[in-house]
Amino acid sequence: MRPFQFSRAPSLSEASHQTAGDNTLAIAGGTNLLDLMKLQVETPSQLVDINRLGFADIEDTDDGGLRLGALATNTETAVHARVRADYPVLSRAILAGATQQLRNKATNGGNLCQRTRCFYFTNIDQPCNKRDPGSGCGAIDGIAKLHAILGTSDQCIATYPGDMAVALSALGATVQISGGKGERSVPVRDFHLLPGDTPWIENVLEPGEIITGIVLPAPVGGTQIYRKVRERSSYAFALVSVAAIIELTDGKFSRADLAFGGLAHKPWHDPRVGECLLGQPPSAELFEKAADILLKDAHGFGENDFKIPLTRRTLHAVLAQATEDAA
Amino acid sequence: MADTITVNGTAHPIPDDPRVSLLDFLRQHIGLTGTKKGCDHGQCGACTVIVNGIRINSCLTLAAMHDGDSVTTIEGLGTPDEPSALQRAFLEHDGFQCGYCTPGQICSATAMLEELGADWPSDASESLEGRIAISGEEIRERMSGNLCRCGAYANIVAAIEEVAAGGQS
C-alpha cells in the first residue's frame, strides 16, 4: 500500500471539505477500498475516516417509508425487522452478496460506491480505461465472462458488481447526498452512470459529496424475489440477477417493478419491461415478450454471450415463480 | 492519551503508520500470531476476528479505524487447558488438516452462533422471519467466508453443528 495521510472527520461539513481535496477519499467500511489500495488500483494521498459521523441509524420516515443510514452496515440493514417484513427483496439481495464477515463491515453508502470486479480494472499491469484513461479496454477482446451485455461503450464493458443496489432500484429508493453545495436527493436508478466515453466516472457524486442515507418509499407489498445466478452457491458475484416486486389483481399484473444485476455498468432498470406486463394475465408468451424488450439491444463479447439466454431464462423463471406465489 | 485498541482485555496503543491493517497490528505489533494472514484480500477468512461482538476480516480494516474498539482473537477464546466449546469440538471432530485456517474458522463460528441465536437470516434461510432451523446448509452458507484448502469442511461442519445443537438444547 502506498503511504497516505489519515484523518478522522470531526463533522460532516469537515468531511465534505476534506474529501473535496485532490486525491482524497472518504473511508467507511473499507472492505473494497483497502483491497484496491493493496492492489495499487487506488492510490489516495489522504483518507478521511467518516465512520464516526453518526448517520448509521435506520429509522421510519414520515410517509411510512424507511431511511437507511449510509453508515449502517449491510448486515444491520438486511436483518432489520422492517426491512425483513416490508422490503424482503432488499434483505434477500444483501444476504446473497459477499460473506457475513464482509457484510458486517461494509456500509450501505460504500456498497453503492463499490468498484467493478473486472479483472483488467483490478490488475495494474493490464490496460483499463476506467483505471488509466486512454490505456484501452483489455476486456473487449479479452476475458469477458463477467462483463456487460447492455449499455456498453467502446471504452468499457465492466459491470456494476453489487446486489443491494439492484433491489434498491426495483424498490425505487432515493440516495441522500450532502456536499459543499448543500443537500440533494438522487433516485438510485439515476445514481450510477453508463461508461460512455468517461468510464472512470461511475456515479453522480461530485468531489466533496458524501452519501448520508438511502430512503425507501412506503412499502408496496407484493411478491418480492431476488434471484441471483452465479458460478457457486455462495460468495460469488452475479452472472445475472433479477430483483422483482410483482402483484396480481384479478389474475392480471398490477405491479411489475424489475431491476437486473450483472448486465451493465449500473443496476439495469428499463421501465418498458414491467410496463409490458401490466394489465396482462401471466403466460409464457408474455414472459418471453418481456425478455425480448429487455434484451433488444443486448450484445455479448464472446465469453459472455451466454448471459443473453441466461437472462431470458432467469427473468422467465422469476416471473413464473412470482405469479405462482401471487396467484 | 494515545489511541488504543483493547485486544482480549488488554489495551494497546495504535501504531503511527495508518497503513497498518488490524491484522498486521495483531500479528506484528502486539505479537498475537494466532490470527492468520492467508490472502490479505478478504477472500479466505483466515484473518477473521471478533470486533465489538461482530466477526470481520481483520485484513480489510485499518488499525487506525478501531480506536476504542474491543477485539477478541483466537487467543482470547480459550487456552490449551481450557478450550472453548468450539475449540474442543474442532479437536474431537478433526476439523482441520494443516490448521492454518482454523483460528479464523473458530472465531468466525463463535460469532456465527451468536448470529444464529439472534435469528439473523442467511441466504440459505427458507424464511426471513422466525427461528432459524440449524442445518448443514445453513452452516455452510454462513461459513462461506472461511476457506479450507485442505478440504476439512465435512468435519468443520460436524464440529459446528455439535456445538450449535448443544446451545439449542
Chain B residues inside the 8 Å CB shell of A104: 54-56
Residue B71 to residue B8: CA distance in whole angstroms: 6
Would an 8 Å CB–CB cutoff place B122 in contact with chain A? yes
Question: What's this model's pTM, rounded to 2 decimal places?
Answer: 0.98
Please, what sign has the CA dihedral across residues B146, B65, B19, A75?
A: positive
Chain A residues inside the 8 Å CB shell of B56: 101, 104-105
Task: List per-residue pLDDT tens for chain B, 169 residues long.
Answer: 579 999 999 999 999 999 999 999 999 999 999 999 999 999 999 999 999 999 999 999 999 999 999 999 999 999 999 999 999 999 999 999 999 999 999 999 999 999 999 999 999 999 999 999 999 999 999 999 999 999 999 999 999 999 999 864 4
Report residue B105: phi and psi, to 5°: -60, -45
Give a yes or no: residue A90 inside a domain.
no
Domain harbouring A241, CATH code: 3.30.390.50
| Residue linked to cell 464516526 | A52
Q: A-B interface: how many C-beta pairs under 8 angstroms?
A: 91
Crossing angle of helices A307-326 and A284-295, in 10° steps, is: 140
Q: Across the interface, which of A6, A38, A98 has its CB nearest the CB of B40?
A: A38
Q: Across the interface, which of B112, B121, B145 has its CB nearest the CB of A91?
A: B121
Three-state DSSP state, A233: coil
Whether ipTM tops 0.95, in short, is yes
| Cα separations in angstroms, A112 against A71, A193, A235, A266, A299 | 12, 12, 18, 10, 26
| Residue B169: predicted pLDDT | 40
Give a yes or no: residue A97 inside a domain.
no
Read off the pLDDT band of A153 (50, 70, 90). very high
Nearest Cα of chain B lies from the Cα of A28 at a distance, in angstroms, of 9
Which residue range forms the structural domain that includes residue A21? 5-48
**Hey, are the CB atoms on B60 and A34 less than 8 Å from each other?**
yes
| Residue linked to cell 477478541 | B72
pLDDT at A165 > cutoff 70: yes
Give a yes or no: residue A14 inside a domain.
yes
Q: Across the interface, which of B112, B128, B140 has its CB nearest the CB of A100?
A: B112
The mean per-residue pLDDT over the stretch A294-299 comes to: 98
Residue pair A246/A230 in contact (Cβ under 8 Å)? The answer is no
Would an 8 Å CB–CB cutoff place B123 in contact with chain A? yes
Q: How many domains does chain A have?
A: 2
Residue A209 to residue A19: CA distance in whole angstroms: 8
Residue A36 to residue A310: CA distance in whole angstroms: 30
**Hey, are the CB atoms on B54 and A104 less than 8 Å from each other?**
yes
Give a yes or no: residue A128 inside a domain.
no
Q: Choose from B19, B115, B116 for mutation: most chain A CBs within 10 A.
A: B19
Residue A112 to residue A98: CA distance in whole angstroms: 14
Question: Which residues of A have a CB under 8 Å from any CB of B?
Answer: 1, 3-6, 27, 29-31, 34-35, 38, 47, 49, 51, 75, 78-79, 84-85, 88, 91-92, 95-96, 98-102, 104-105, 233-235
Q: What angle do CA B75, A107, B22 make, to 5 degrees?
A: 30
Q: Residue A174: CB partners within 8 Å, gap ≥ 6? A: A185, A186, A187, A188, A214, A215, A217
pLDDT at A285 > cutoff 80: yes
Chain A residues inside the 8 Å CB shell of B62: 6, 27, 30, 34
Q: How far does Cα B109 stand from its chain's mean position?
A: 6
Chain B residues inside the 8 Å CB shell of A92: 123, 128
Residue pair B5/B12 in contact (Cβ under 8 Å)? The answer is yes
Read off the pLDDT band of A325 (50, 70, 90). confident
The neighbour count for residue B28, using CB atoms within 10 Å, is: 14
Give a yes or no: residue A261 inside a domain.
yes
Q: Across the interface, which of B60, B120, B144 has its CB nearest the CB of A30?
A: B60
Q: Across the interface, which of A35, A75, A91 has its CB nearest the CB of B128?
A: A91
Q: Across the interface, which of A27, A35, A49 has its CB nearest the CB of B42?
A: A35
Q: Determine the residue of chain A that is closest to B107 in CA distance.
A: A101
Give a yes or no: residue A131 inside a domain.
no
Residue A144 to residue A158: CA distance in whole angstroms: 9
Give a yes or no: residue A86 inside a domain.
no
The mean per-residue pLDDT over the stretch A296-322 comes to: 98
Q: What is the DSSP string of A130-175?
A: TTSTTS-BSSTTS--TT--SSS--SS-------SHHHHHHHHT-EE
Give a yes or no: residue A290 inside a domain.
yes
Q: Which three cell numbers stand for residue A24?
A: 482524497
Report chain A's terminal Cα–Cα distance, integer Å. Answer: 55
The neighbour count for residue A141, using CB atoms within 10 Å, is: 10
Residue closest to A72 by CA, chosen among A87, A97, A53: A53
> What is the per-residue pLDDT across A267-281, written as a single tens digit (0 to 9) for each?
999 999 999 999 999
Q: What is the DSSP string of chain B?
A: ---EEEETTEEEEPPS-TT-BHHHIIIIIS--TTS--SSSSSSS-TTEEEETTEEEEGGGSBGGGGTT-EEE-GGGT--SSS--HHHHHHHHTT--SS-TTHHHHHHHHHHHHHHHHTT---TT-S-SSSPPPP-HHHHHHHTTT---TT--HHHHHHHHHHHHHHHH-
